[in-house]
Structure 1
Amino acid sequence: MLDKVAASWKATVLTLHPDMFPGSLGLSLAGRALEKGTWELEKVDIRDFADDKHRTVDAIPFGGGAGLVMRPDVVDAALNSVADNGSPVIYLSPRGRLLDQDLVKKLAAGPGVTLLCGRYEGIDQRVLEAREVIEVSVGDYILSGGEPAALILMDAVIRLLPGVMGNRESADEESFELGLLEYPLYTRPAEWQGRKVPEVLTSGHHEKIKQWRQEQAEEITRERRPDLWAEYLVKRNDTKLGR
């Protein structure tokens, strides 16, 4: 499902707090792209699908424990209201697969995504299984709800959509695109508080600059992200062997 390609991209967000969207995505490049229709946003208030006068969406967990759990019948009704255009349904959860650049690229190439934002202790497992929901985590930490995580995922995807970013080359050189963290960046003035820009960057020698940036990216990745460095070495070795 994640590999399906389409000509347009739409984010459908199921949430108890629809006013949190588009949030920061209504500004800058993403905001202009939203105004131009490069991407669409649909907000669905899960509470609208509660069937009692108090609009109750949660209940105490079976088996005991702290907190409340979002009810499967209410969440399922909210999902039923969303048109099926082949988009994956993603539940933002700390136990999900880690959001990485490869997944971001796959989502950007598809028709869009339906994002399910949990609150309280989470969502009843049965509706996640019945709907074959994909669980995705934005990192090993706990947030107050799925909304901030949804905004992170959307931001990462939207910037890759055609026409959103002005400089494609810039995107290609960013962290994770080539399996490495990005090299250090410098701009004017050439000297600041006694610190000078590396001489190679002012040499005008493009090949030496390219080599310096590659070396810096490798060194930073090796020191700060040994996990990425190990993966990079495997891929580089496979490339040399023609695999």
Structure 2
Amino acid sequence: MLKQELTTEDIRKLNSKKGLMAILMREPLNIDRALRYVNYLDKLQELQVELIRMQTWAIQNKERIIVLFEGRDAAGKGGAIRRITERINPRHMRIVALPKPSEEQKTQWYFQRYVEQFPKAGEMVLFDRSWYNRAVVEPVNGFCTEEEYKIFMKQVNGFERMILQSGIRLVKIYMSISKKEQAKRFEDIKNDPLKQWKMTRVDEQAQELWDSYTNYKKKMFKKTNTELSPWKIIKANRKTDARTACIEHILNSIPYDKNTII
């Protein structure tokens, strides 16, 4: 399938190892799709080089960086995080995906277990879901009380102000997909034995509770999309575009020296 006339550069890309793999990896044959994928891989590599440069700058300057990812179930948070972290120095970054709190943690200040995961000097921490569980996932699924939700919403902006005033750089990303795309991805997960473990009880109810998620998401943005600590909404129906958009936003949000030698 071909919707455009190929340039000499397009042919060169398709004739490369990456191009041939892109052509053969999916059926039916689709040259336009293969070319988009090769262009994505080229762009991803360029962005990953800049991530290494940014991380080198952060290590040298003892910077502390938090990047948190929120979004609908199956929105591609994990995939984006993998592309962000796969080339950078693993000794200076961590991925945090906390399980449900223990009985002891339930008695603590809500933010405490997240604070315990904060970065040390020269480190970047990526949260695959964060304290914002209490803004959307918990109230939608009845995992917190109305009072606990209200307390969180009163405290969260002040909490993030303290994070930023302490010198930590905070980047907030929300990955957004359509209801139709979420249903398609859930079906793919259910039918793939390598991905079935990803499907949780919360995921299984996500379509039924779609409108409730939307309601709480709007409340979250209205309250917490502040000038000091804004959200970046990434349209994630196309995974490849979403991944590069996430990296570009991180690079644009951190004032690293683009002349840092790596």
Structure richer in helix, relative to its length: 2
The two structures have a TM-score, normalised by structure 1, of 0.32
Relative to its length, the structure with more strand (as a share) is 1
RCO higher in structure (CA 8 A, sep ≥6): 2
The structure whose Rg is larger is: 1
